[in-house]
Amino acid sequence: MSVDFTPWPEDLVRRYREKGYWRGEPLTVLLTKRLEIAPDATAIICGERRFSYAELDAWSTSLAIGFSRQGLRAGDTALVQLPNVAEFYAVFFALLKIGVVPVNALFSHNRLELSAYAEQIRPALLIACARHPLFANGAYVEALQIAIPALRVVQILGETSYAESLAPFAERRYDVSASELRGSAPGEVAFLQLSGGSTGAPKLIPRTHDDYYYSLRRSAEICGLTEKSRYLCALPAPHNFPLSSPGALGVFHMGGTVVLAPDPSPSVCFDLIRRHGVDIAAVAPPIAMLWLEAAADEAPLSSLRLLQVGGARLGETVARRIPATLGCRLQQVFGMAEGLVNYTRLDDDEETIFTTQGRPMCEDDEVKIVDPQGAPVGSGEIGELLTRGPYTFRGYHRAAEENARAFDAEGFYRSGDLVRMTETGHIQVVGRKKDQINRGGEKFAAEELENLLLTHAQIADAALVATPDALMGEKSCACVVARGDVRPLALRKHLRALGVAEFKLPDRFEFLERLPVTAAGKIDKRALRDLVASRPAH
Ligand code: OOB
């Protein structure tokens, strides 16, 4: 049994194998290879706890056996929600070792997101953490078990000792039969990655061992990782950027050390960088700005060699300040959980690094930049970026309707990003076609929030638009047509009661008589953005 996904066409499969992108190895090999080379090297630093590669491997094996003894089998799925703790990686590898396919939800996700994922994957296993308000008592788990009868095994990690909470699963006996620890085949789905989404409920992205392994290997190479690398994971661990670009998995592949930060604030991160000699970190633009501000009156972060910034547009002025203020190189990263990742290279000239979002990591990343009719734009002109390649997915998980829209006839994924290509082949992200809010790197579909607003009895119509924000890049404004007297406070309360993640709550509300529509009868979001911009924020 395995989780179904849209395969790449045969000719491309052959090509990706021949060229060595797909090596026919499962992601778990990444750990076992390190065991042969340097088992005692430190893989993870998490608070005061350190785990060597041997320990991480043994831990994940014992968890894998424990899960399997609980009846979990290859092809089952798991819903996992953990903060930035070592357990995240132990559980991830444990599940890969038995072919259980996880969805790793963000810690900022709430009831609505978790329930939507659970509905989609019908998990047999739930692992979460009591520190999250949703799991502070058993009510939500109980409701989930009623809604999803397939959910057989639940483990809520305790507040203080995560490791102890997992102990019931950690089988210490190693009399493992070969069949017990059989993961999914390298060409099959290793896990389901989260999409930022541009319509309705959040979508899931099947990532195979072959495609993901390639993307993290190539990323590690481009970023110059070695066994000496010390990588600060300050973004939410499940996100594609800190997981594979090159992220923690890229670091493990090279035998370096992942230093986990509980949050990305400068006070926490600067201390970790100094204490552990961190040389590479990945952040989103607002965090980079906070780091710049804090660094101005601090001692230098002398070990930091490279700061990767991505997930949202990095302003050129901010980009220029990074090397000067933080004393490290900057790398811009323009990636997507769906696949394609662009990097500025370590040896690119400064202007390229400051003014572009890099170029694709693989020579077999095919990129088209097209006009609204789908025709390629002239050189240097703006259009939508479409892509296919050895680590770009071919279809969302069980979303036929969305997939019909999201790919063109040649199997190129429509990213929804508006870009321009420079003469040197570097990409500049100039805007977005998709109806999404990108709040400092955290994305969600405008439609998701609009649907929630419309569940309020006093709301006749609603549209969510992005508004520019100096720190976050974008914030959200809900434009609503109310039936009666309703206040932002009541609307926020209503949304919270629905269980939506906090970062999706509108930052601002505008009450209108009616929403402007286009000639085609659709809500005119451009007109709305202009209208919101013309009104003072209150
Ligand atoms: C990363 O992945 P996602 O899936 O959270 O978001 C992808 C979207 C892109 O389509 C684009 O709209 C935006 O986020 N984005 C950027 C950007 N990086 C991502 N927009 C402008 N400039 C950038 N540098 O965000 C992601 C995945 C892997 C590595 C890095 C980021």
Q: Which of 350, 221, 328 is nearest to 273 (CA)?
A: 328
Domain end among 414, 432, 450: 432
Q: Which residues have a Cβ under 8 Å from the Cβ of 347 and sit 6 or more positions away? A: none
- CB of 269 within 8 A of CB of 307? no
Query: Both tokens of residue 454?
Result: 């419309």
Nearest CA to ligand 1 atom 3: 336
Angle (nearest 5°) at CA 481 between 108 and 538: 65
Q: How far, in Å, from the CA of 335 to the mean position of ligand 1? A: 4
Kindly state whether residue 447 falls inside one of the protein's structural domains: yes
Q: What is the longest distance spanned by two Cα atoms in the chain?
A: 70
Q: Is 72 exposed, middle or buried (0-12, 13-18, 19+ CB in 10 A)?
A: buried
In order along the chain (538 residues), what is the average pLDDT of each group of 10 residues?
93 98 98 96 97 96 94 96 97 97 98 97 97 95 97 88 69 59 94 91 94 98 98 98 98 98 97 98 98 88 97 98 96 98 98 98 98 96 98 97 96 98 97 96 96 97 97 97 96 98 98 95 96 89
Domain shared by 463 and 444, yes or no: yes
Whether ligand 1 lies within 6 angstroms of the CB of 336 is answered as yes
CA distances from 357 to 196, 236, 387, 430 (A): 19, 21, 16, 10
Q: Which domain holds residue 141?
A: 27-32+49-183
| Cα–Cα dist 251/179, whole Å | 29
Query: Both tokens of residue 283?
Result: 């952040």
Residue 14, helix vs strand vs coil: helix
Nearest CA to ligand 1 atom 9: 336
Whether ligand 1 lies within 6 angstroms of the CB of 385 is answered as no
Domain shared by 426 and 442, yes or no: no
Kindly state whether residue 152 falls inside one of the protein's structural domains: yes
Q: Got the DSSP string for 330-371?
A: EEEEEEETTEEEEE--TTS-HHHHHH---EESSTT-EEEEE-
Domain shared by 389 and 503, yes or no: no
- CB of 498 within 8 A of CB of 452? yes
Nearest CA to ligand 1 atom 2: 336
| Cα–Cα dist 154/233, whole Å | 27
Domain shared by 364 and 481, yes or no: no
Q: How far, in Å, from the CA of 312 to the mean position of ligand 1? A: 6
Domain shared by 428 and 440, yes or no: no
Report strand pairing: 153-157 vs 125-129: parallel
Q: Which residues have a Cβ under 8 Å from the Cβ of 360 and sit 6 or more positions away? A: 340, 341, 342, 367, 387, 389, 427
CA distances from 442 to 113, 114, 475 (A): 14, 16, 10
| Cα–Cα dist 188/191, whole Å | 9
Nearest CA to ligand 1 atom 26: 335
Domain shared by 524 and 478, yes or no: yes
Main-chain phi, psi angles of 409, to 5 degrees: -60, -25
Q: In which element (H, E) is residue 419 found?
A: strand 413-421
Whether ligand 1 lies within 6 angstroms of the CB of 245 is answered as yes
Position 165 scores a pLDDT of: 72
- CB of 412 within 8 A of CB of 388? yes
Domain shared by 380 and 399, yes or no: yes
Q: Got the DSSP string for 83-96?
A: -SSHHHHHHHHHHH
Q: What is the CATH classification number for the domain harbouring 381?
A: 2.30.38.10
Q: What is the CATH classification number for the domain harbouring 519?
A: 3.30.300.30
Kindly state whether residue 340 falls inside one of the protein's structural domains: no
Domain shared by 60 and 179, yes or no: yes
Q: Give the ipTM.
A: 1.00
For the CA of 195, the nearest atom of ligand 1: 4
Q: How far, in Å, from the CA of 52 to the mean position of ligand 1? A: 32
Domain shared by 86 and 170, yes or no: yes
Domain shared by 420 and 443, yes or no: no
Kindly state whether residue 502 falls inside one of the protein's structural domains: yes
Kindly state whether residue 298 falls inside one of the protein's structural domains: no
Kindly state whether residue 321 falls inside one of the protein's structural domains: no
Whether ligand 1 lies within 6 angstroms of the CB of 392 is answered as no
Whether ligand 1 lies within 6 angstroms of the CB of 171 is answered as no
Q: How far, in Å, from the CA of 328 to the mean position of ligand 1? A: 22
Position 159 scores a pLDDT of: 64
Half-sphere exposure of 244 (CA within 13 A, CB side): 28
Structurally, the chain folds into a number of domains equal to 3
Q: Got the DSSP string for 182-235?
A: ----TTSEEEEEEP--SSSSPPEEEEEHHHHHHHHHHHHHHTT--TT-EEEE-S
Domain shared by 423 and 456, yes or no: no
Q: Provide the edge-to-edge strand list for the sheet that holds 359-360.
A: 49-52, 42-46, 257-260, 230-233, 280-283, 306-310, 329-336, 339-343, 359-360
Domain shared by 54 and 167, yes or no: yes
Domain end among 134, 155, 183: 183
Q: Which of 270, 252, 354, 260 is nearest to 313 (CA)?
A: 354
Domain end among 432, 454, 487: 432
Query: Both tokens of residue 21?
Result: 């992108």
Kindly state whether residue 345 falls inside one of the protein's structural domains: no
* Angular region, 90: left φ>0, alpha ψ -120 to 50, beta rest: alpha
Q: What is the CATH classification number for the domain harbouring 130?
A: 3.40.50.980
pTM score, two decimals? Answer: 0.97
Whether ligand 1 lies within 6 angstroms of the CB of 443 is answered as yes
- CB of 410 within 8 A of CB of 389? no
Kindly state whether residue 365 falls inside one of the protein's structural domains: yes
Report strand pairing: 257-260 vs 230-233: parallel
